Structure 1
Amino acid sequence: MDASLRVEIFVADLDETVRFYERLGFGTTGRSDGRPRYAAFRMGRARIGAAEAAAVDPVLRAVPTGVEIVIDVDDIREVRDRVVGAGLPLAEDLQDRPWGLRGFRLSDPDGYYLRFTSRH
């Protein structure tokens, strides 16, 4: 059986979120100005939906109390360089993990913690 996963996040400013995820390299695949305002993003098979909602203190979403959204990519160096080139601050630069993965981390404007990773 094949499966896929789409993560839905709740954001205070949808326009800011769209700009952020597009700078990460996601394409915006849909938008709705209904209630709530909504946008859908895709990078390869990774999909994220964002619904506009009341602001939440980003600290409440920080690891280890929140969720880490992990996105597997083929070329971690290319993605990292694009993210840094877009002027987005990293929470943690590229690191090799003892379990065979290399990755970096950053937070989105609402405090969702993102880890991009690939096998090294």
Structure 2
Amino acid sequence: MAASLRIEIFPRDLDTTVTFYQSVLAFTLERDERLAEIPYVALRRDGIRIGARRITEPVSRDARRLPAGTEIVFEVDDLHAERDRILAAGYELAEDLTARSWGLTDLRLFDPDGYYLRLTTHDHS
């Protein structure tokens, strides 16, 4: 059986999370339990699945930044189109398109809760 990956994030505001991942990164809302006792949403884009459970205790954004946090990496077909959509949504990049020494080009941004995201070209090695 093939492996897949699903990540879980823990934001303070699920509405903000859903809006960001839908409007900025083109995810679809697959499961919506924002009114449940334990609020939760599931988002999907192609083979990427992100679950989000609301937390009530604040988490320092610095705790999610590198090197202590995790870099969430999305490989995409058209990095320039992704950049254009992010900017058109009025969202700020942490780092614009950059050709890396390892042969890929990427851009970086933070989601509303400080999760560090990298969008990159596909690794064809």
TM-score normalised by structure 1 residue count = 0.94
Higher strand share: 1
The residue that corresponds to 1:58 in the other structure is 61
Alignment of 1:73-84 (within 5 A): 73-84=76-87
The residue that corresponds to 2:26 in the other structure is 25
SS at match of 2:121: strand
1:41 has 2:43 as partner: yes
Report deviation, 1:18: 0.6
Q: In percent, how many aligned pairs have the same letter?
A: 49
Report deviation, 1:63: 1.1
Q: 1:19-74: per-residue Cα shift (whole Å, max 9, x none)?
A: 11112211111111223211111111111111000221111111111000001111
RMSD, matched Cα: 1.3
Q: 2:115 aligns with which of 112, 117, 120?
A: 112
The answer on whether the counterparts of 1:18 and 1:28 sit within 8 Å (CA) in structure 2 is yes
Q: 1:60-98: per-residue Cα shift (whole Å, max 9, x none)?
A: 111111000001111111111111111111000010111
TM superposition outliers: structure 1 runs of 4+ over 2 Å: none
In 1, Cα distance between equivalents of 2:80 and 2:2: 28
1:99 has 2:102 as partner: yes
1:6 has 2:6 as partner: yes
The answer on whether the counterparts of 1:100 and 1:119 sit within 8 Å (CA) in structure 2 is no
Segments of 5+ residues of structure 2 without an aligned counterpart are: none
SS at match of 2:32: strand
Count of matched residue positions in the alignment of Structure 1 and Structure 2: 120
In 2, Cα distance between equivalents of 1:50 and 1:35: 14
Segments of 5+ residues of structure 1 without an aligned counterpart are: none
* 1:119–1:96 distance in 2 versus 1, CA, 3 Å: farther
TM-score normalised by structure 2 residue count = 0.91
